[in-house]
Structure 1
């Protein structure tokens, strides 16, 4: 593969990673509530989830979806249900007070749970599979060597995890966090509502 092909893959996928969606929303919320270091672990999970979708596309999942579209429909509804469940939890607990001592928060949710939340949120949305199986694959020649696949998956991990680390940093800043604490219930309900809308959009498109 040429450098031009890798460059195209990098920027096309970076644009997709930066587009607002459930993963970015949860990265922002987690960092607001639990701090930057916790947001990093969620971002790692989001990156791993994207790598799983990309690897599946590289190894033929897009063809499976084309042959059996009912499978994609099932995944869409399952993913939408998961996002709506997360939205319900956000909305339900929006009015509860939050411990303002970030140092105590890591005990409440383990690092593996944060990573898994990132992975599961990414896998709940099959739209990345469609992206990787269509636009993404057009830049990869059928004769691409094995090392090129490894490099492409590394790009996916870097872009998805890296962008969500940036999101985590922005939303973990003290000024941002103080504003959140002053408007916690409103912001939580907005986040919950946006996540619910994303779930409904997934189910209906």
Structure 2
């Protein structure tokens, strides 16, 4: 079996999924525009860490646990949905706040790590990421693969996640994007908040 072809197919499918707009995209863009390049890259790193946790869980059996105990999946899903709605409310409430200037000081450092934690919690609060990983792993990866394949799969997930979100962070932390965000902050934040709230409600109402 040509494992290189299998891994390439997995990389393409995963990258397309990562690039599709969702709450992670919204959060990284907003963090980069407000906190700056460093904060955006920390958020991108958090997205990578969270995705790796779910990918490892899918590889090593958490999906089977969710299938065995449906209430556990429901608890994860409701918790993730509530966190999305909480973020939406916070973004909406602070939509009219002026955009802070980037400064290299202790406050900016703390803000960057707060962005990291917020992004990590968002990524970890969505069990559908693990279900997605479980689905593509089952459909793309053959049975009885050698042990090194697990490491290769996790490496692909890490590279795709960080590179995509780092690209978003670099784009939206730049001067032109930041200036545009400053001018349109109220409406952009309200749209972002609305998107996150809608995604949270959809997660609550989803059958599975």
TM above 0.5, one fold? yes
Cα root mean square deviation, aligned: 1.6
Deviations 1:153-196 (A, max 9, x none): 01101111111011112212211111111122221111111111
- Aligned residue for 2:111, secondary structure, equals coil
For structure 2, list consecutive stretches of 5 or more residues without a partner in the other structure. none
Residues of 2 paired with 1:149 and 1:168: CA distance?
28
Residues of 1 paired with 2:170 and 2:11: CA distance?
22
Query: Which residue is equivalent to 1:91?
Result: 92
Query: Which residue is equivalent to 2:38?
Result: 37
Residues of 2 paired with 1:121 and 1:87: CA distance?
12
Give yes or no for contact 2:95–2:185 (8 Å, CA) kept in 1.
yes
Give yes or no for contact 1:13–1:136 (8 Å, CA) kept in 2.
no
Deviations 1:54-89 (A, max 9, x none): 000000111112122221111111100001001111
Give yes or no for contact 2:84–2:199 (8 Å, CA) kept in 1.
yes
Residues of 2 paired with 1:144 and 1:34: CA distance?
43
Query: Which residue is equivalent to 1:185?
Result: 186
- Aligned residue for 2:71, secondary structure, equals helix
Query: Which residue is equivalent to 1:160?
Result: 161
Residues of 2 paired with 1:26 and 1:102: CA distance?
21
Deviations 1:112-158 (A, max 9, x none): x3332222111111111111111233222231222210111011011
Aligned pair count? 204
For structure 1, list consecutive stretches of 5 or more residues without a partner in the other structure. none
- Aligned residue for 1:71, secondary structure, equals helix
Query: Which residue is equivalent to 1:109?
Result: 111
Query: Which residue is equivalent to 2:122?
Result: 121
Structure 2 vs 1, CA of residues 107 and 119 (structure 1 numbering), >3 Å: closer, same or farther? closer
Residues of 1 paired with 2:141 and 2:33: CA distance?
38
Deviations 1:5-34 (A, max 9, x none): 111111111111111111111000011111
- Larger deviation: 171-180 or 95-104? 95-104
Shift of 1:107: 3.7
- Larger deviation: 170-179 or 9-18? 170-179
Q: Is residue 148 from structure 1 mapped to residue 149 from structure 2 by the alignment?
A: yes
Give yes or no for contact 1:54–1:129 (8 Å, CA) kept in 2.
yes
Structure 2 vs 1, CA of residues 201 and 102 (structure 1 numbering), >3 Å: closer, same or farther? farther
Shift of 1:102: 4.6
Query: Which residue is equivalent to 1:79?
Result: 80
Give yes or no for contact 1:58–1:137 (8 Å, CA) kept in 2.
no
